[in-house]
Amino acid sequence: MTINIPNNRINTKASKSMSALLSRQDYLVVQGNDLARAFGNLTSFQHKILDYCFSFVKKDSQPIDIYTASALDIIHHLGLTASGTNYQRVGEAFKVLNEKTALYLHIQRANGTDGIRMTQLFDNIDFYEDGKIEFRFSQSAVPYVYELRKNFYSFKLRELANIKSKYSLIMMKLWQANKMGNQLDVTIKGTMEDWQSWFLGDRKRWSAGRFKQRVLDVAIKELGDKLGCWFLIKTIKSGVRVVGYEITIHGKDTRRP
């Protein structure tokens, strides 16, 4: 017996499924700057390795470019000793970057049909026994990498290496991703789910009090101490429940003596 399902029913179910996927804002990168929000599941060390990779991108870089790094250079950059243990740490960090930098990109056909492209940040990472590392960003990720590189790296790589907490690194990226030109004051607003996904990734979730103490307060103190900026936090509530934050970052004007 053959059961014929009307096309409109199939389309409705597919549309509902797509809407459910598109609602997962912690997964989707919908514009270039949002790449800064995509990797809350990485550790501080892994973030620094990723930032080192991003630093190879220049204004004239091409999507087909293959970049060559040195494990020894990375070790020195991070202020570590050239030991077998640290070589292994670098290798393991690249392994994690290969596994945990999946991207889910919001795409759209010319006729307006929404969709999701499931891809990776890296096309490939080659790790050689002499410590050389060759990598290339995936074709789909390249535009987002270039956009992040252009907007985020007003910070010098050395400044990034001196930041200890991964939460501070993520806050720096959010800061720059929301910055317009040379403006000093930047405001970032999001729901509690937004903030937790940006800083913790897609699995771990904490109470509002623990999240503020363990994440936001840590990032604010370190960046305030090391970069001379200061923060204003506005807690957004629904009744007594914390449902989000609006954080304004006041940067230091380096143009003044």
Residues whose CB falls within 8 Å of the CB of residue 92, separated by 6 or more in sequence, listed in order: none
Model confidence at 27: pLDDT above 90: no
Interior/surface letters 150-187, b for 16+ CB within 10 angstroms, e for the rest: ebbbebeeeebeebebbbbbbbbbbbbbbbeeeeeebe
What are the backbone angles phi and psi of residue 190, rounded to the nearest 5°?
-165, 165
Average pLDDT (70-93) is 91
Question: Reduced to 3 states, what is the DSSP secondary structure of residue 9?
Answer: helix
pLDDT digits (tens, 9 = 90+) for 90-120: 999 999 999 988 888 878 889 988 888 888 8
pLDDT digits (tens, 9 = 90+) for 225-253: 988 889 999 999 999 999 999 999 998 76
How is residue 209 written in tokens?
A: 């009090």
pLDDT digits (tens, 9 = 90+) for 166-210: 899 889 888 877 777 677 789 999 999 889 888 887 768 899 999
Query: Is-above-0.85 flag for pTM?
Result: no
- pLDDT for residue 248: 95
Work out the number of other CB atoms within 10 angstroms of the CB of residue 39. 22
Rounded to whole angstroms, the Cα distance separating 12 from 76 reads 56
Model confidence at 47: pLDDT above 60: yes
* Strand pairing class (28-29; 114-120): unpaired
CB distance 236 to 243 below 8 Å: yes
Average pLDDT (59-66) is 85
- pLDDT for residue 138: 92
Lowest model confidence (mean pLDDT) among 8-17, 40-49, 90-99: 8-17
Model confidence at 163: pLDDT above 90: no
pLDDT digits (tens, 9 = 90+) for 123-160: 999 999 999 999 999 988 888 787 766 655 555 666 77
- pLDDT for residue 255: 45
* Strand pairing class (185-191; 241-250): antiparallel
| C-alpha count within 13 angstroms, C-beta hemisphere, residue 18 | 15
pLDDT confidence band for 214 (50 / 70 / 90): very high
- Mean pLDDT for all residues in the chain: 80
Return the beta strands (E) in the chain as ranges.
28-29, 67-70, 102-108, 114-120, 122-127, 132-137, 185-191, 230-238, 241-250
133, 134, 140, 146: CA torsion to nearest 10: 80
Backbone Cα Rg of the chain? 20
**Ordered structural domains, the chain, with CATH:** 18-155 (1.10.10.10), 163-257 (1.10.10.10)
- pLDDT for residue 100: 87
